[in-house]
Amino acid sequence: MRSILTALAASTLMSGAAYADAHALSGDLRIISDMSNPAPRAVMEGLVADFGAMHPDLNIELEVVDRDGWKSQIRNALTSNPPDLINWYAANRMGPYVNAGLFEDVSDTWAEIEGLDSVKGALTIDGKQWGVPYTYYQWGVYYREDIFAELGLEEPETFEQELANCQVIIDSGRKCYTIGTKFLWTAGGWFDYLNMRTNGFDFHMALARGEVEWTDDRVRETFANWRKLIDMGAYIDDHQNYSWQEALPFMLNGEATAYLMGNFAVAPMREGGLTDDQLDFYQFPTIGDFPKGEDAPIDTFHIPSGATNKDAAREFLKFVTSAEVQTAINAGDALGQLPVNAASSVDDDEFLNQGFEMLTSNAPGGIAQFFDRDFPAEMASIGMEGLQEFMVFPDNLDDILQRLEQARERIYAQ
């Protein structure tokens, strides 16, 4: 990884002294990163090594913290002794720190970066940008292409075609979708897509911001569309007892034909025996007349407002968002995800290429961050409990929506 990034820096970002002379940086640059798993940590250490080689007068101090622990440590880090750069997440997950004045406005840096237009909205609050993206991954419908071929089915483009395909699948003795909702968040993915397709991306985000009542008729229409699938028997039985991994065998053995999931599920599907000739991917079908929004959780870098070396931090943001660096850090031997810069390239992997094309070219509706990132933490927790309950007991919808609306009124008032 380090040699790859160094080569890229030398060939595309000007090498050695020439780059240093053009962007003279000195002093200390403190970075706190939550890229604690082995592969991400190697990426972060490589970024620091290469940026440091380009700026020999800059002393870079990297502190790597536990990814889960960072969620409870970040506010204290931003207030007590702020570093110059941190890792975090886009959209509503960055909102509390923007609103508290703890993140730096980096709109001036965005003006110098090309290729990030598709995700600009996810880093924008009050018309300003508060961080930059370095990686994301797509969600979509992964399906058994061989079973579709056996049944004479084609990839659906509309929800009506999705329902028609599902009936054929059910008539063949299979389930349409596997899913494991034991840990709730997978139900959030289904709601995200059904709501974005039924009412549009802007409506979905307004709901996430607490600006729409859960009892609104448009929200009920989303659940009505969802119930069409539930009443058909589209999902595997007893999904509330399975994790997302435990639901994979239904897809692997052909008892279910599709999985609405993030691209991280591809590796275990391949490890479970599915070949790329058996597996394929399609974008969630249209319902209403809206541009397609997509779930694509974005990981980000931010400059704390209390940082002391903001000039160096801004140069690092430009470095990590360059097309060449994003290509390198998202490669299969590194993060194995998608670069956000549209001018980057991706590994020769069928699903990464499909996801990159979809998110950079075919997702004009907007990029959502997933239910448990877009909604405030408490609202997300209560909401996902209600979504799972609806999938098991759809007749409880009125009670569920009343509970969610009461939670909305209380949580957003705070």
- Provide the total of helices (H) and of strands (E) in the chain, helices listed first: 19, 13
Measure the CA dihedral 187/284/249/227, to 10°.
50
**Residues 6 or more apart whose Cβ sits within 8 Å of residue 304:** 77, 78, 82, 83, 84, 85, 86, 102, 103, 104
Residue 17 has pLDDT above 50, yes or no: no
The two structure tokens encoding residue 130: 């508060």
What is the pLDDT at residue 362? 66
Region of 385 (left: φ > 0; alpha: ψ -120 to 50; beta: rest) is alpha
Same domain assignment for residues 214 and 240: yes
Beta bridge partners of 88: 300
Same domain assignment for residues 272 and 381: yes
Length of the chain (residues): 414
* pLDDT tier at 148, thresholds 50, 70, 90: very high
Crossing angle between the packed helical segments 2-12 and 38-54, to the nearest 10 degrees = 40
What is the pLDDT at residue 52? 97
Residue 93 has pLDDT above 90, yes or no: no
Same domain assignment for residues 229 and 376: yes
Residue 10 has pLDDT above 60, yes or no: no
The boundaries of the domain holding residue 312 are 2-134+298-344
What is the pLDDT at residue 67? 85
What is the pLDDT at residue 23? 60
Cα separation, 244 vs 178, in Å, equals: 9
Same domain assignment for residues 143 and 130: no
Same domain assignment for residues 257 and 147: yes
Domain assignment of residue 150, yes or no: yes
Considering the chain, what is the average pLDDT of its residues? 92
Quote the number of domains for the chain. 2
Beta strands in 288-395 (DSSP E): 293-295, 298-302, 366-368
Same domain assignment for residues 31 and 100: yes
CATH number of the domain that residue 385 is part of: 3.40.190.10
Cα separation, 95 vs 93, in Å, equals: 6
Residue 7 has pLDDT above 80, yes or no: no
What is the pLDDT at residue 21? 47
What is the pLDDT at residue 414? 81
The two structure tokens encoding residue 381: 């927790």
Beta bridge partners of 261: 140
pLDDT tens string 358-372: 988 766 788 899 999
Same domain assignment for residues 230 and 92: no
Same domain assignment for residues 286 and 391: yes
**Taking a C-beta distance cutoff of 8 angstroms, is the pair 139, 197 a contact?**
no
Containing 351, the helix (H) or strand (E) segment is helix 350-361
Same domain assignment for residues 129 and 168: no
Note the Cα 402 to chain centre separation in Å: 29
**Taking a C-beta distance cutoff of 8 angstroms, is the pair 200, 365 a contact?**
yes
Domain assignment of residue 166, yes or no: yes
pLDDT tens string 372-407: 999 988 999 999 999 999 999 999 999 999 999 999
What is the pLDDT at residue 12? 42
Q: Using DSSP, state whether 86 is helix, strand or coil.
A: strand
What is the pLDDT at residue 15? 38
The two structure tokens encoding residue 87: 């890792």
**Residues 6 or more apart whose Cβ sits within 8 Å of residue 213:** 219, 405, 408
Same domain assignment for residues 97 and 235: no
Q: Using DSSP, state whether 29 is helix, strand or coil.
A: strand
Q: What mean pLDDT do residues 81-95 have?
A: 93
What is the pLDDT at residue 361? 77
Domain assignment of residue 357, yes or no: no
Cα 188 to Cα 15, 103, 144, 217, 374: the distances in Å are: 46, 28, 23, 19, 11
**Taking a C-beta distance cutoff of 8 angstroms, is the pair 165, 156 a contact?**
yes
Same domain assignment for residues 34 and 157: no
Same domain assignment for residues 84 and 184: no
Cα separation, 3 vs 344, in Å, equals: 18
What is the pLDDT at residue 121? 87
Q: What mean pLDDT do residues 132-151 have?
A: 97
Residue 16 has pLDDT above 60, yes or no: no
